[in-house]
Amino acid sequence: MKKILVIALSTFCLMFTAYGQAEITFQGFASFVGGATLDSDETYLDYINKLEYDNDSLYALQASSNLGDGLTVTGQIIARGAENYQPEFEWMYASYNLTPTLNMKIGRVRTPFYMLSEYLEVGYTYQWIRPPKEVYAASITNMDGVSFLYNMPIGNIDSQYMITIGNRQDFSDDPTATVSDYKPLIAANAQFEFGAYTTKLIYTQGDITFKSPAIDGATAALSTDTAFAKYAVIENTPVTFTGFAFIWDVSPLAVMFEYAHIGFDPLIFAADETRMLAAFTYSLNDANAVTYSWSSNEKESDSGLAAKLDSANANFATHQAVVNGSLAALDSEVTTHTLGYRHDFHDSAAAKIEFISTEDSVKDTEATLVRFGIDMLF
Amino acid sequence: MKPFMKAFFAVLMLSLGISAYAEVSVIVHPSNSNSFDQNAIKRIFLGKSRAFPSGGEAIPVAFKDGSAESNEFTSSVLSKTPKQLKAYWAKMIFTGKGTPPRAMDSSQAVLDLVAQNPSIIGFVASGSETGNVKVVGKF
């Protein structure tokens, strides 16, 4: 598989370096993770009560070519166990330094939704096997467009501002989805670093379109209530992500807190979400660390929607059933505790193990997951 | 007694001199008239700044990982452990925000590069500087 990735990436970079003498640098990261839930009816993060090794394992290869004068071209291919190790271009872009403090990228770039989103899959860079899904679940990890990054020191504070404008088509893994787009998608963030403190403010907005037989069925069932129809179709529906995070790193202790809110225009298919996490990492020495985190995800459907149905409509009773059923399926309140241990047994590799306990107080489900793995850089 | 004291002080001075070997000197081309504080040097070597305070392009060069000079520079100037630095560059590389400075094998290689190119900033073990480079800080 590595051979295929190397050939694909070399070809990509050679397209740009045909005229130059620029060399291609290869770098990569990989995670090999296994896990299982502890009880036969429990599932969490796609793990079941049998040991599986695909869900979080991945292999990524990045090729970069510095063409000089501030121009570089980069491609990154990832093969994820969760997608049957099908290699795909996670990102590929040309980067140009417009000024010493302003950089522009054009192509496919990572979506900077949350604090760690841009390096979400580089396990080596953080303490968990993967950051808590309660905050870090994202239906998209990349987008196509233009991105600007501006660096500005304010006294002793390092500040960075980023804005990415583009779209993302066919994002859904759902094989029944016929259309799944974020068009347009605008992501902005500001990060401030001062000594042991790092703060990040995030704002993203986009218009989402999603169609599948299940959604189309509900849309059709409610089509005679014309005033209500707009709540039963996901077509260019505005969605916003707002969040902030901070990290306080004062060896041997590091604390991270993150909060995010996802708001949809009223829909019977999507609920507003509130996401939070708090994590504490204690480094026993340079090669060992213990981490505890609490994370929560609350989805609250728009209960006022049922009241917007036209009670005079002939199919009112059916409509009510469809709407209430759809709304009830959306609500959930998940709280998760994670206890993890990291051991850096090698310069370029870390071994980790995690015990995760999670429960959904609305859907009344719970699970305990044990996950272990190795994260590598090369 | 006196000759003994002299010898004692000589040995004391020598041993202090030996422990001072752990210092690194940050060097630039003699024509580089910028003044640097630790923060400015740190920002250039961490890829947060691509230019000198006066505006000219800044290209940092480092020593290979694991060398005494590299370890000393990483801890005294960058205030990181080697592992923290590795994780930092992994974040930068895999988010396209920068690449680590070129790692040279020897002091002579660093001195040659710095003496030839006004954009380069590097470091060598204190005491290895030659006359054709300018020292802008010792850590």
Q: How far apart are CA A36 and CA A370, in angstroms?
A: 6
Q: Does an H or E element contain B136, and which?
A: strand B134-138
Residue ranges and CATH numbers for the domains of chain B are: 22-138 (3.40.190.10)
Q: Single out the residue of B29, B22, B30, B28 nearest to residue B45, CA to CA.
A: B28
pLDDT for position A218: 85
> In this predicted complex, what is the ipTM?
0.84
Could you tell me the end-to-end alpha-carbon distance of chain B, in angstroms, rounded to an integer?
37
Domain interval for residue A170: 92-377
Phi and psi torsions of A62, nearest 5°: -120, 130
Whether A28 is covered by a domain: the verdict is: no
Whether A66 is covered by a domain: the verdict is: no
Q: Which domain CATH number covers A155?
A: 2.40.160.10
Confidence band for B18, pLDDT divided at 50, 70 and 90: very low
Q: How far apart are CA A305 and CA A139, in angstroms?
A: 25
* Cβ separation A119–B94 shorter than 8 A: yes
Q: Where are the beta strands (DSSP E) in chain A?
A: 24-37, 58-68, 71-80, 87-99, 102-110, 142-154, 157-169, 179-194, 197-211, 234-250, 253-264, 272-285, 288-300, 332-346, 349-360, 365-377
Q: How far apart are CA A32 and CA A106, in angstroms?
A: 31
Whether A183 is covered by a domain: the verdict is: yes
Residues in B touching A25 (Cβ below 8 Å): 99
**What confidence tens digit (pLDDT) does each residue in B21-74 have?**
568 899 999 888 888 888 889 989 998 888 888 888 899 999 888 888 889 999
Q: How far apart are CA A307 and CA A268, in angstroms?
A: 12
Q: Could you tell me which residues come within 8 angstroms of residue A271 by beta carbon, excluding any fewer than 6 positions away?
A: A264, A299, A300, A301, A302, A327, A330, A331
Of B50, B91, B93, the CB nearest to A27: B93
Bond prior to A252 in cis (omega within 30° of 0): yes
Helix intervals (H) in chain A: 2-17, 133-136, 213-221, 316-330
Chain B: residues touching A (Cβ < 8 Å) = 39, 43, 48-51, 55, 57, 65, 81-83, 86-87, 90-91, 93-97, 99
Chain B: residue whose CA lies nearest to A377: B90
Could you tell me the end-to-end alpha-carbon distance of chain A, in angstroms, rounded to an integer?
16
Mean model confidence pLDDT for chain B: 83
Torsion of CA B111, B113, B114, B115, to 10 degrees: 80
Q: How far apart are CA A325 and CA A311, in angstroms?
A: 17
Phi and psi torsions of A284, nearest 5°: -70, -35
Q: Number of folded domains in chain A?
A: 1
Whether A70 is covered by a domain: the verdict is: no
| CA of A336 vs chain B CAs: smallest distance (Å) | 26
Q: Could you tell me which residues come within 8 angstroms of residue A358 by beta carbon, excluding any fewer than 6 positions away?
A: A44, A334, A335, A336, A337, A366, A367, A368, A369
Q: How far apart are CA A114 and CA A116, in angstroms?
A: 6
Take residue B90 and report the two structure tokens written for it.
């992994």
- pLDDT of B14 > 60? The answer is no
- Chain centroid to Cα B10, Å, comes to 29
Whether A311 is covered by a domain: the verdict is: yes
Of B65, B83, B94, the CB nearest to A344: B83
Of B50, B82, B99, the CB nearest to A97: B50
| CA of B65 vs chain A CAs: smallest distance (Å) | 10
pLDDT for position A63: 94
* Cβ separation A109–B99 shorter than 8 A: no
* Cβ separation B90–A29 shorter than 8 A: yes
* Cβ separation A158–B55 shorter than 8 A: no
Q: Does an H or E element contain B103, and which?
A: strand B102-104
Whether A305 is covered by a domain: the verdict is: yes
Whether A231 is covered by a domain: the verdict is: yes
pLDDT for position A288: 95
Per-residue pLDDT of chain A (378 residues; tens, 9 = 90+): 566 666 767 666 555 555 555 688 999 999 999 999 999 889 999 999 999 999 999 999 999 998 988 899 999 999 999 999 999 998 899 999 998 889 999 999 988 888 898 899 999 999 999 999 999 987 788 999 999 999 998 888 999 999 999 999 988 878 888 899 999 999 999 999 998 899 999 999 999 999 999 888 888 888 888 888 888 889 999 999 999 999 999 989 999 999 999 999 888 888 999 999 999 999 998 899 999 999 999 999 888 888 888 888 888 888 888 888 888 889 999 999 999 999 999 989 999 999 999 999 998 999 999 999 999 999
* Cβ separation A100–B50 shorter than 8 A: yes
Q: In 3-state terms, what secondary structure has residue B8?
A: helix
Q: How far is CA A121 from CA A60, A318, B113, in A?
A: 9, 44, 37
Question: DSSP state, B82?
Answer: H
| CA of A378 vs chain B CAs: smallest distance (Å) | 10
- Taking the complete model, does pTM exceed 0.90, yes or no? no
